[in-house]
């Protein structure tokens, strides 16, 4: 690993640690301040916003980052890449907003939270013009990571100062949306000044090329949401805000801790991609070492959260709730199988984009097939049980597929 990779990983790790700590402050605060009903509605709306975020991202975080890493020294190509990816994301964002407006005409429960979703979509608009993938590809994440951290801390301060009750629910997406747009504009300016890039003219052919290159990763990422975020939508549509709250509390804690892996994966990905092309033996050694370390980390974290689940529930909700406890422990049991978060990008490095897409689609379909009947019968714990089952299936499938492509022994 180079010094630059270490610096990038360190910057991302600091950012992700704050991403872990901030929800531990925000979630208990919002649950107690907004109440179970309003918090559940916001989580219901947020699940749609997350879907919009995934659709707008369209897999560019990996595919465009990989392309930027390869073309890091060619400013003309980087400028065209920045322009085409940004335009693609903006066009997709507009389509998503129209889709929400259309859905709200047919589903009463979506119409009830339409304003929260539309205002929250401004968060995604800011992210659409925020080229984190570019800074990741050229391995210059330090400053942009600091700016993202400042944005998160500012949002936290605004929430703590101005949100005082259920009527202030709308302020939650308003604050984050404004900060996201400001950060996106600032990041584009940084790309222009520090990297010497300019938004350039582009053709439909270039947009089509970028859309095609990110398609497999997009389908895979969207499919993942079918057994994570979609469960919140299922609970919101079929059960109600209380079930959404129980599920969301556990899911947010899981996501925050699971997110600690992202900095390492994001920082290592460009290096592993180049290593795979230059030295398969070195790639194989690094892959095995990283896989072992990450799996040990996940096992330890999962065990700790399982044991501490009763305490976590009381801290977050302010009282003991049996459903939330069961959901929390089911999510804790899923931690070892979150190794798929590392195996997925390694599959892309090995050229297994199509395999990843097939596995992700199968996982997504399995998640929906299991979630609906289990949620109807068991409520929030049923949705969490469906999540655990899909995580097990996905991790095994990804591991075996990587093994097949590597054509090597397990260890």
Residues 6+ apart with CB under 8 A from 236: 40, 43, 44, 47, 109, 244
**What is the mean predicted confidence (pLDDT) over 229-240?**
90
pLDDT level of residue 411 (50, 70, 90 thresholds): very low
What mean pLDDT is reported for the chain?
84
Nearest to 86 by CA among 1, 200, 3, 174: 200
pLDDT level of residue 410 (50, 70, 90 thresholds): very low
Q: Is the pTM value of this prediction over 0.75?
A: yes
Q: What percent of the chain has pLDDT over 90?
A: 42
Q: What is the pLDDT of residue 408?
A: 52
Q: What is the pLDDT of residue 201?
A: 64
Higher pLDDT, 361 or 385: 385
Q: Which residue has the tokens 């995580």?
A: 391
Domains: count for the chain: 2
Whether the pLDDT of residue 203 is over 70: the answer is: no
Q: How many other β-carbons are positioned within 10 Å of the β-carbon of residue 278?
A: 9
Q: Say how far residue 230 (Cα) sits from the centre of its chain.
A: 13
Q: Are residues 38 and 95 in the same domain?
A: yes
Q: Are residues 283 and 351 in the same domain?
A: yes
Q: Are residues 130 and 234 in the same domain?
A: no
Q: What is the pLDDT of residue 264?
A: 72
Q: Tens digits of per-residue pLDDT, 133-153? A: 788 777 677 777 888 889 999
Which of 7-16, 130-139, 367-376 has the least mean pLDDT?
7-16
Give the whole-angstrom CA distance, residue 100 versus residue 407.
45
Q: What angle do CA 287, 226, 60 make, to 5 degrees?
A: 55
pLDDT level of residue 337 (50, 70, 90 thresholds): very high
Q: What is the pLDDT of residue 340?
A: 87
Q: What is the pLDDT of residue 409?
A: 43
Boundary of a domain, candidates 169, 190, 212: 212
CB distance 223 to 361 below 8 Å: yes
Q: Say how far residue 364 (Cα) sits from the centre of its chain.
A: 15
- The domain of 204 spans 1-212
CB distance 126 to 183 below 8 Å: yes
Give the whole-angstrom CA distance, residue 196 versus residue 188.
11
**What is the mean predicted confidence (pLDDT) over 163-183?**
95
Q: Are residues 63 and 98 in the same domain?
A: yes
Give the whole-angstrom CA distance, residue 279 versus residue 282.
5
Give the whole-angstrom CA distance, residue 173 versus residue 319.
27
Whether the pLDDT of residue 75 is over 80: the answer is: no
Q: What is the pLDDT of residue 385?
A: 96
Q: Are residues 179 and 259 in the same domain?
A: no
CB distance 169 to 34 below 8 Å: yes
Q: Are residues 143 and 264 in the same domain?
A: no
**What is the mean predicted confidence (pLDDT) over 333-347?**
89
**What is the mean predicted confidence (pLDDT) over 210-229?**
73
Give the torsion sign (CA, 107, 327, 221, 360). negative
Q: What is the pLDDT of residue 11?
A: 67
Q: How many other β-carbons are positioned within 10 Å of the β-carbon of residue 303?
A: 14
pLDDT level of residue 386 (50, 70, 90 thresholds): very high
Helices (H), 195-240: 204-213, 215-225, 229-238
pLDDT level of residue 6 (50, 70, 90 thresholds): low
Give the whole-angstrom CA distance, residue 284 versus residue 290.
10
Q: Say how far residue 187 (Cα) sits from the centre of its chain.
A: 20
Phi, psi at 56, each rounded to 5°: -65, -35
Whether the pLDDT of residue 61 is over 70: the answer is: yes
Boundary of a domain, candidates 194, 212, 230: 212
Q: What is the pLDDT of residue 102?
A: 95
CB distance 372 to 238 below 8 Å: yes
Q: What is the pLDDT of residue 82?
A: 82
Q: What is the pLDDT of residue 62?
A: 72
Give the whole-angstrom CA distance, residue 291 versus residue 298.
11
Q: Are residues 254 and 382 in the same domain?
A: yes
Q: Are residues 234 and 245 in the same domain?
A: yes
Whether the pLDDT of residue 273 is over 70: the answer is: yes
Residues 6+ apart with CB under 8 A from 392: 334, 337
Q: Are residues 171 and 219 in the same domain?
A: no
Higher pLDDT, 410 or 375: 375
Boundary of a domain, candidates 212, 241, 275: 212
Whether the pLDDT of residue 285 is over 50: the answer is: yes
Q: Are residues 241 and 187 in the same domain?
A: no
Q: What is the pLDDT of residue 167?
A: 92
pLDDT level of residue 328 (50, 70, 90 thresholds): very high
Nearest to 128 by CA among 82, 195, 174: 82
E strands present in 150-279: none
Q: Are residues 93 and 239 in the same domain?
A: no
Residues 6+ apart with CB under 8 A from 257: 20, 301, 305, 335
Whether the pLDDT of residue 365 is over 50: the answer is: yes
pLDDT level of residue 392 (50, 70, 90 thresholds): very high
Whether the pLDDT of residue 57 is over 90: the answer is: no
* DSSP summary character for residue 318: S
Q: What is the pLDDT of residue 230?
A: 87
Q: What is the pLDDT of residue 66?
A: 73
Torsion region of 321: left, alpha or beta (phi above 0 gives left; psi -120 to 50 gives alpha): beta
Q: Are residues 241 and 191 in the same domain?
A: no
As a whole number of Å, the CA-based R_g of the chain is 21
**What is the mean predicted confidence (pLDDT) over 213-228?**
73
């Amino acid at each position: 690993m180079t010094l630059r990779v270490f610096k990038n990983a360190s910057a991302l790790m600091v950012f992700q640690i704050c991403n872990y700590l901030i929800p531990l402050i925000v979630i208990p605060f919002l649950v107690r301040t907004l109440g179970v009903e309003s918090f559940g509605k916001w989580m219901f709306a947020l699940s749609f916003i997350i879907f919009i975020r995934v659709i707008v991202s369209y897999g560019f975080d990996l595919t465009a980052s990989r392309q930027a890493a390869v073309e890091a020294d060619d400013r003309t190509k980087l400028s065209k890449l920045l322009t085409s990816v940004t335009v693609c994301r903006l066009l997709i964002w507009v389509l998503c907003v129209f889709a929400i407006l259309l859905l709200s005409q047919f589903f009463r429960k979506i119409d009830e939270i339409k304003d929260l979703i539309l205002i929250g979509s401004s968060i995604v608009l800011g992210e659409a013009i925020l080229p984190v993938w570019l800074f990741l590809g050229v391995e210059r994440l330090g400053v942009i990571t600091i700016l993202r951290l400042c944005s998160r801390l500012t949002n936290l301060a605004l929430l703590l100062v101005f949100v005082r009750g259920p009527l202030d629910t709308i302020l939650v997406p308003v604050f984050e949306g404004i900060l996201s747009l400001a950060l996106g504009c600032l990041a584009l300016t940084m790309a222009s000044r520090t990297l010497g890039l300019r938004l350039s003219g582009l053709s439909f052919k270039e947009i089509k090329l970028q859309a095609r290159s990110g398609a497999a990763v997009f389908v895979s990422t969207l499919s993942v949401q079918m057994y994570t975020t979609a469960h919140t939508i299922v609970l919101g549509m079929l059960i109600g805000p209380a079930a959404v709250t129980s599920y969301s509390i556990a899911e947010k804690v899981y996501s925050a801790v699971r997110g600690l892996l992202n900095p390492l994966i994001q920082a290592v990905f460009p290096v592993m991609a180049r290593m795979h092309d230059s030295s398969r033996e070195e790639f194989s050694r690094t892959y095995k070492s990283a896989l072992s370390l990450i799996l040990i980390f996940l096992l330890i974290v999962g065990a700790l959260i399982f044991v501490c689940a009763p305490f976590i529930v009381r801290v977050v909700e302010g009282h003991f709730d049996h459903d939330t406890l069961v959901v929390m422990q089911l999510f804790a049991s899923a931690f070892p199988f979150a190794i798929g978060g590392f195996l997925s990008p390694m599959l892309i490095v090995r050229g297994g984009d199509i395999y990843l897409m097939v596995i992700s689609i199968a996982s997504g379909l399995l998640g929906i097939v299991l979630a609906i009947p289990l949620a109807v019968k068991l409520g929030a714990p049923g949705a969490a049980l469906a999540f655990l089952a899909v995580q097990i299936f996905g991790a095994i499938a990804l591991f075996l597929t990587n093994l097949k492509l590597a054509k090597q022994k397990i260890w």
